[in-house]
Amino acid sequence: MSLTMTATMVINSGERKPEVITLSNGIRVVFDVDKGHPTAAVGALVASGSRFEDDHTRGLSHFMEHILFKGTEHRSSLEISSAIEDVGGELNAFTDTQYTMFYMRVPSVHTALGLDVLSDILLHPLFDPAAIDLERRVIEQEIYAFEDSPDDVVTDELLKGIYGSDPVASNPLGTVESVRSFRRNDFVDYFHRHFVAPDIVLSLAGDVDVDASVRFLEDSFGQLAKGPGKAEWRIPIPGNGPQGDRASHGAGIHGDGTPRFRPVFEAGVHSESRLQHLWGQHVESPVPEGSREGGPCLQHWFFSREFQQYWIAGHLGRKLPRECFARPAGHP
């Protein structure tokens, strides 16, 4: 068994450091041990998301996340959830643009169980065609719900406006058409391309036994086949969209419900930290003075470090007042 260990950055307390252990096939395992509470969290971060998809596989990463919980070679869907929930734990997953996260939280005495279930769903999926057909309907409803949410539609169209055809602008949910097109062989092929070493990062936090966990992970995840290499984490380049420049954009909705975009600040001129200082972060916006006749101006804004757009503004009013995109008071 060939393992390497390195220490990484100091965490907030400044009293201990997470440890990173590399399994023999290149998969990294991050340990953040905290004996203060008898709980543990185990997780797996997989390089599987919409930025790795093409026209044929649009939405497959998210569908894969769902289907991996629907049965393995050793457990049914009910047995997967019951194994964790019967000991007072929880399990879940989510898919983003550049990764899919699977995680479980359990009492620390059941850490081994959490690791066993996690390895089972990620190493021994069944891909039952009947389960795929049933889950297809669930995801279609998620897409319809997304399309009924103005906030979600604006954000989705904003990314397309900035990055155009770049996969980073694709909705992780996919489309109803793409979701209906997937068959079992699509899942099998995608699984063997993306759920491979070294493109998985495992994590354990809480009251965990590092040595025992490493032995289990080496015997399970450490035997996973290697892929062609680490996934390319390419930085998307703004400019493919209709604006054609590197400006951050505000997004609104016209009176007829269609999205609209407008450059707000040039990237590199107004730093993220400066904007956070001026406007705050992840906060609800008040209606700017003088714009009340047009209805609500900005519903929310937030900052994103991932794709270099500094803020997004969702507009729900009947018209978009000029004040919505004015520079903050005192801004040069």
pLDDT tens digits, 253-283: 333 333 333 333 333 333 344 334 433 443 3
Q: Which pLDDT belongs to residue 163? A: 85
Question: Where in the chain are the domains?
Answer: 4-223, 247-325
* pLDDT reading at 12 higher than 70: no
pLDDT-wise least confident of 128-142, 235-249, 255-269:
255-269
Q: What is the mean pLDDT of residues 216-234?
A: 83
The predicted-structure confidence for 166-207, as pLDDT tens digits, reads as follows 888 899 999 999 999 999 999 999 999 999 999 999 999 999
- Please give the Cα distance from 279 to 326 (Å, whole number): 13
Q: Which pLDDT belongs to residue 159? A: 86
Side chain identity at residue 143, one-letter code: I
C-beta of residue 24 within 8 angstroms of C-beta of residue 85: no
Q: Which pLDDT belongs to residue 287? A: 34
Indicate yes or no: pTM above 0.85: no
* pLDDT reading at 327 higher than 70: no
**283-291 long-range CB contacts below 8 Å, 24 or more apart?**
285/313, 288/321, 288/323, 288/324, 288/326, 289/323, 290/321, 290/323, 291/321, 291/323, 291/324
- Please give the Cα distance from 213 to 21 (Å, whole number): 11
Confidence of residue 235 (pLDDT cuts 50, 70, 90): low
Tokens of 104: 């479980």
Active site residues: 65
Radius of gyration of the chain (CA): 22
Q: What is the mean pLDDT of residues 122-136?
A: 97
Residues 6+ apart with CB under 8 A from 149: none
**What are 200's strand-pairing partners?**
46
pLDDT-wise least confident of 61-75, 116-130, 156-170, 298-312:
298-312
Q: Which residues of 178-204 are buried (b: 16+ CB within 10 A; e: fewer)?
A: bbebbeeebbeebbeebbbbbbbbbbb
* pLDDT reading at 25 higher than 60: yes
CATH no. for 4-223: 3.30.830.10
Confidence of residue 239 (pLDDT cuts 50, 70, 90): low
C-beta of residue 309 within 8 angstroms of C-beta of residue 249: yes
Side chain identity at residue 230, one-letter code: K
